[in-house]
Amino acid sequence: MRWGMVIDLKRCIGCYGCQLSCKAEHGTPPGVFFARVLKQEEGQYPSVRQLFLPVLCNHCEEAPCVDACPTGASFRWEEDGIVDIDPDKCVGCRACMMACPYGNRYFNDNPQHYFEQGATPYETARTARHQTEVMMKCNFCRDRVRSGRQPACVANCPTVARTFGDLDDPTSEVSCLIKERGGFPLHPEAGTRPSVFYLPA
């Protein structure tokens, strides 16, 4: 089994719902974005359009971050292909950050909070499980997926732009979408074999 995600760029409206739901799910501190949305404009007046590119960890089959990690803190689960970080093993060398061609790894360097008055009780509760001075990244909401639910960004996308499923199953919805609609990964030239695919806008 290899979990993967397909994001339909034609459906994405850039509402940041994925980013917010991810923040709510994981309680990530300021400056850490497991999911984010990039904006680009293309064309020339009067024919201009805005494109949105939601990005997250690509859970690569040939993950350069896993190879670069000196401690084994970055690893790939054999049973489902999810690339994860064991915070208890991370030394915070940030080699994985330099190895990731997608820029989706973050260093949680200080205890941070969103308001000048200090951490809210919600933030305190949500960030309690995060270690500081280590790397953080998306893990496809592995706990949710193991309990039979979808990742938070998929479950909360109001336009159903995201589809989650097994890339190893040729009959799964993600495999069919990639095949029928010409799904493409980011930076295929990097040879990382990502598990996140995009459908053309």
Partner 1 sequence: MERTRAKYERLIQDLKSELRPQREWGEGRGIFLVIGHFVVGVAAGTWLLSLFFDSRAAMASAFVLGALGGVSHLAYLGRPERALRMAMRVRTSWIARGFWGLSLFLAGSFLYLAPLLPSGAPWSGESAIAGAGYALALLGSLVLVVYMGFVYTASKAIPFWNSPLHPALYIAYALRGGTAVLLVGVALGAKVDAGVAELLLLWSGVTAIVAALFLLEIHGAMTGGNPAARRSVRELFAGRAALFFYCGTLALGLLVPAMLVWTGLTGPLSLGAMAALGLASVTGDFFMKYSTIRAGVHLPVWTRLAPLRHPVRAP
For partner 1, the binding residues (CB under 8 A) are: 9, 30-31, 33, 36, 38, 40-45, 48, 51, 53, 55, 64, 66-73, 89-95, 97-103, 107, 109-110, 112, 116, 132-134, 182, 184, 186-190, 192, 198, 200-201
Q: How far is the CB of 27 from partner 1 (least distance, A)?
A: 16
Question: Which of 43/158 has CB closer to partner 1?
Answer: 43
Q: CB-based contacts of 44: which residues, under 8 Å, 6+ apart?
A: none
Q: CB-based contacts of 139: which residues, under 8 Å, 6+ apart?
A: 57, 82, 83, 84, 85
Token couple for 47: 């024919």
Return the DSSP state at 150: P
Token couple for 193: 């074999």
Q: What amino acid is encoded at 182 in this protein?
A: G
Question: Which of 131/159 has CB closer to partner 1?
Answer: 131
Q: How far is the CB of 138 from partner 1 (least distance, A)?
A: 14
Question: Which of 103/121 has CB closer to partner 1?
Answer: 103
* Buried-exposed string 69-79: b where 16+ CB fall within 10 A, e elsewhere: beeebbbbeee
Question: Which of 155/201 has CB closer to partner 1?
Answer: 201
Q: How far is the CB of 155 from partner 1 (least distance, A)?
A: 24
Q: Are 1 and 175 in contact (CB under 8 A)?
A: no
**CB-side exposure of 65: number of CA atoms within 13 Å?**
32
Q: Are 162 and 19 in contact (CB under 8 A)?
A: no
Question: Which of 55/167 has CB closer to partner 1?
Answer: 55
Token couple for 58: 């690509």
Q: How far is the CB of 106 from partner 1 (least distance, A)?
A: 9
Q: How far is the CB of 82 from partner 1 (least distance, A)?
A: 19
Q: How far is the CB of 44 from partner 1 (least distance, A)?
A: 6
Residue 3, strand partner residues: 166
